[in-house]
Structure 1
Amino acid sequence: MISRRNLLAALVPYPGTRVRIVAGGDVMLARWIGRKTRLMEDWAWPFRHLSETLLAADIAFVNLESPFCQKGPYEQPGVMLFRARPEMIEGLTLAGIDVVSIANNHVRDAGAAGIEYTLKHLKDHGIVAAGMKDGVLVERARTGFRFLAYTYDQRNGNWPEDDNRIAGLDMELMHEEVAAARTRDEVVLVSMHAGTEYAPKASPLQTAFARAAIDAGAAAVLGHHPHVRQPAEEYKGGVIFYSLGNLVFDQFQRKETQLGSLAELDFEDGKLREWRLREVSLAGGQPKLM
């Protein structure tokens, strides 16, 4: 499937070598969000207010917190499992999402078959998934952008062992993969799923892992999991977003979980030139810029 952005790019020559990446936080397309979307009879409902902003990027990235599940049950009372209906992908395609991270604690909520189906479903809709060996490469303006993703946990209390396809928060592995990408002159962005839920500041583990990624050659670190925004940090020529908070989520019980950030990163000739954060409100389940 050709995305709206790729169709436009095929028709209009790319002007120069500037590339803008927009990265959002946690996207969970199940539970209340899934029920509300069905009720609205609009599978792209969660992204209606943000789609144009995300489409304006050359590469749009989010952390996908809910695997797609080909058949139910989509909810189990008393069990913390996020399983999204296949139709919910319409929101991602409306917004022109190019890359998602699946390296998070909910990646296995639909089992091994859910991982396989999610990867295929994403691919069928023109979306690539980071979070497995060597990540994914996206090329724009004659520059390769390598997305690598790592998670502190993939079991979510439901599995006795790890699925070794999913990249854990392994400092040595991350260093090797970042360094290898840099030898190919690729720009590296690292997604880090770690930290303490609802904590306003980064943990020592987040800080150590993120700074190590920049030390290894990453241009930026995109943080997820705390479900609230945490500060950004410029470090040795790179930038670390310790937590971008939620983007599409049904955590309405706290004010802080209903606020997120979009990180905008502008690259020119493969170098990070500028970055900024744009605040997002999740009130009512439909994120919009503040």
Structure 2
Amino acid sequence: MINILFTGNDASWDEYEPHLQAAFASLPFDVHLSRDIPADQVDYIVFGGEAPITDFAPFTRAKLVQRLWAGVEDIVGNETLTIPLARMVGGGLDQGMIEWVTGHVLRHHLGMDDHINGQDGVWRNDVTPPLAQHRPVTILGLGALGQACGQALAQLGFPVTGWSRSQKSVEGLTCVSGPDGFETALSSAQILILLLPKTPATENTLDENAIAKLPKGAVVINPGRGGLIDDQALLAALDQGQLSHATLDTFRVEPLPPEDPFWAHPKVTVTPHIASATRADLAAEVVAENIARGEAGKPFQHLVDRSAGY
């Protein structure tokens, strides 16, 4: 019997439990899934967030902590967590992010806000947007989500530059890396998308100096993490016209307080951290696959690099 501990609140348990049970039913061994298993009898931990575990030392038998989300910044630094940690890759996250990012890129590319917000009897046909091939897009972060979004946009005809800490090769994208590549990636970005993980090294990636390297009138789209942007520098750039708009899905404090200036700023669109979410049915299949690999002695998938923080 393989004992799997689920950690999370009542709502996440109600959402995930039936899908996990269904996925585990196909495994070639018996599984016991519960929210209440003695620590020294747990083989795997499915970590759903908002969980009470802060000390992993008692889980002496556990082989893996499997996160149900892509982000691991709230757990990766826990010194008691010495067993492998896997983040969620797939589980509907990639397709959801592709749809959200593509929708907002097209919205800004086509200037849709002028017509959606301008239903006042004025015939606004004085501006024709360029074709996608003439609208350079840059994505900061070429993890699974960055690559998926970049390739989707490239298939629509956008020239896409992707920047990452280490050099990567992604079909259909111009890939750059390092400090020089960072400046190159910013210099052409009429639309900039942030999909970096949250680590000490990525804090305020988009600061005053970085914003100044963007073409005047650029659009910033952030479905990554709130800490990637210097909020005050962003607001100043919007007020000064260096940026024409910012669509933000993630923030340093969530929910975003009602008094936050982002809510009322005419050049900011706030969405409530909905760019992408794990789908329980698809995520359960990813979890079951990793547990099956562990029991077969195969390497786990999507393991977190503790030194990099993601």
Q: Which has the higher helix share?
A: 2
More strand by percentage: 1
Q: TM-score, normalised by structure 1?
A: 0.33
Larger CA Rg, structure 1 vs 2: 2
Q: Calculate the TM-score normalised by the size of structure 2.
A: 0.31
